[in-house]
Structure 1
Amino acid sequence: MLTLFSCFFFGEVNAQDAPRINDHNNNGWYMYFGDHKLSEKWGLHTEVQLRRYNVLKDPQQLLLRTGVNYYINPDAFVTLGYGFIETSPYGDYPAPDEFLEHRIYEQLQLKGSIGRIGLTHRYRLEQRWVESPLTSDYTYLNRARYFLKATIPVVGPTLDVNEPYLAAYEEIFIGFGNNIRQNIFDQNRAYLALGYKFSPAAAAEVGYLNQIVQKANGVVFERNHTLQVGLTYNLDFTE
C-alpha cells in the first residue's frame, strides 16, 4: 500500500508541472465474465467487454480476454492469460486513429469475508504491447493493478440464489519500467452497483463506475462517468 501511495503521489506531482486538463465523458460498458472449472485444479477464464462512448451511441473499446486458471484451494486461484484490446478515438482529446493492444497478464485472486461482507482481492501484472495510432509501431509497457471488491446481501445474513446484493469495488493501476512517461499513476476505478444472483453459477450487476485516467502526457485526465452492465456465468464441468 505504501508503494501504491508513493506512485500515486509522485504521479500527481509530475502532472502538476503543467496545467491539468479534465476531460469528462459519459460511457457505457457491457460485459461478460466466466471462470469455468475443467478439473479439480484447472479451469478456463473467458471475458468480453463492449465499451461505448456516449453510453451506447459511439464506439470506445472492445476487450477480449482469456486465460488458464490454476486453483490452489476453493478460495484462491492464479491465472495466466492474454488480452486483445481495440480502442477507438473518443472524448474531447481523442487518439488520432484506432489502435490495438496485445496484453499478457498474470494474476492471483483471493476470496474471503468479514461478517456478512464477501471480499475479493485481485493482484494482476500486465505486459502490454500498445500500437501507435500514427505509425503502427508497438511500445512495450508494464502495469500493476490491485482490485478489492465487496458484496453485501440485501436479504438475510448470506447471499443465496434468487436474492439481490450490493457490490462495490476499487481498483488502482500503476505503470512501471521503461517507456512510462508521466503517468506512473495510470488510472483509478471506483464502482457501486446492485446485483442479483440467479443461480450458483450466474449473477448480474448494474452500476456506476467513476474512472480517472491519466494520459501519457500527464496533462489530460479523463473523468469517465460510466454505466456498467455485467453478467457473470461460471460453469463447473467437474460436477
Structure 2
Amino acid sequence: MKIYLFLIIIFLFSLSQIKAQNTKQYQFGSWYEITASTKISDKFGFFGSLTSWNYKLPAENSHLLLAIVGVKYQLNPKTSVGLGYAYGDIDSSFEENDTPNIKEHRILEQLVFNHKLNKIKLSQRFRLEQRFLEYETENLLKHRLRYRFKGKIPINNTLFVSIYDEIHFYLNQFDFQQNRIFGGLGVSLNKNMSAEFGYARHSFKTKSYDRLSVQLNLKFNSRKKQKQ
C-alpha cells in the first residue's frame, strides 16, 4: 500500500509541474531510441542504448544525442542493479545557430524492480546520475534522481500497449527538472526483438515538447549452454 501511495504522489506532482509550465509550444518533434541488453551469466549482463531527440520531424534540428553503456547484476528474479556511463551532445536552444552544444559525461547507478499484476508487466526504475556538463564558459557537476514507472499490457501474443512516466529531480537543491510521459503500441517481432511506436511528451519547467516516439528493443542471451 505504501508504494502505491508513493506512486500516486509522484504522479500528481508530475501533473502539477506540467500544468504550471509556460504553454509555449514548438513544432512536433521526434524521439528515436535503440536499446539493447544481453546476459552473459545467470547474474551478470550488459545494457546500452542510443537516443536521438529532434525538435522537428522527421529528424531535423537535433536536441540530444545520447549513448549509454552499462553492466547489471541480478539480485533475484525480480530485482537488478546496474552501473553505467553515458556521453551526450545537447542543444537546448531550439534555434538553429552556431552556439556550441553542451557536452556531457555521465555516470549512473540504477535499481530496477520487475513484477506482474495478472498479465500486466510492471517495472520500476530508480536511477542516480552524476552529470559532468561542459558549457562554453564553465564546467558543472549536477546530481540527478530519476524514477520511472512502466507498464506493458498484452493485447495478444504479438501486440501490446506500452506506457510509462518518468520524473527527474536535481539533488543539488532537490528541484524538479523534467518529466517524460509515453503511451504507444508495441509489437514483438521475435523473441529477441520488439518495437514501440507512440506519443511522448517531454516537459521541462518552462516549456514542453510533443514528440513522435519510435523505439527498437533488442535482447540477447550470451550465456553458455550447459552440457547435458
Q: TM-score, normalised by structure 1?
A: 0.81
The residue aligned with 2:184 is 193
Contact 1:23-1:91 at 8 Å conserved across structures? no
The residue aligned with 1:224 is 209
1:146 paired to 2:164: no
The residue aligned with 1:67 is 70
The residue aligned with 1:32 is 34
Which consecutive unaligned segments of at least 5 residues does structure 1 have? 215-220
Identity %: 28
1:188 offset after TM fit, Å? Answer: 0.8
1:21 offset after TM fit, Å? Answer: 3.8
Residue-by-residue CA offset, 1:23-65 (whole Å, 9 max, x unaligned) = 4232211111111111111111111112212122221110000
Secondary structure of 1:198's aligned partner: strand
1:82 paired to 2:85: yes
The residue aligned with 1:218 is none
Contact 1:23-1:93 at 8 Å conserved across structures? no
Distance in 1, Cα, partners of 2:37 & 2:129: 19
Distance in 1, Cα, partners of 2:219 & 2:94: 35
Residue identity opposite 1:71 in structure 2: Q
Residue identity opposite 1:224 in structure 2: Y
Contact 1:164-1:194 at 8 Å conserved across structures? yes
Distance in 1, Cα, partners of 2:192 & 2:123: 17
Contact 1:120-1:148 at 8 Å conserved across structures? yes
Alignment partner of 1:42 out of 39, 44, 52? 44
Secondary structure of 2:190's aligned partner: coil
| Superposition pairs of residues 203-222 of structure 1, within 5 angstroms | 203-214=194-205, 221-222=206-207
Contact 2:63-2:94 at 8 Å conserved across structures? no
Which consecutive unaligned segments of at least 5 residues does structure 2 have? 1-5
Contact 2:114-2:121 at 8 Å conserved across structures? yes
Residue identity opposite 1:54 in structure 2: K
Residue identity opposite 1:66 in structure 2: V
Distance in 2, Cα, partners of 1:95 & 1:68: 37
Q: 1:110 to 1:116 in 2, by over 3 A?
A: same
1:212 offset after TM fit, Å? Answer: 0.7
Secondary structure of 1:24's aligned partner: coil
Residue identity opposite 1:129 in structure 2: F
Distance in 2, Cα, partners of 1:42 & 1:194: 30
The residue aligned with 2:3 is none
Distance in 2, Cα, partners of 1:60 & 1:95: 14
Q: TM-score, normalised by structure 2?
A: 0.84
Distance in 1, Cα, partners of 2:96 & 2:167: 23
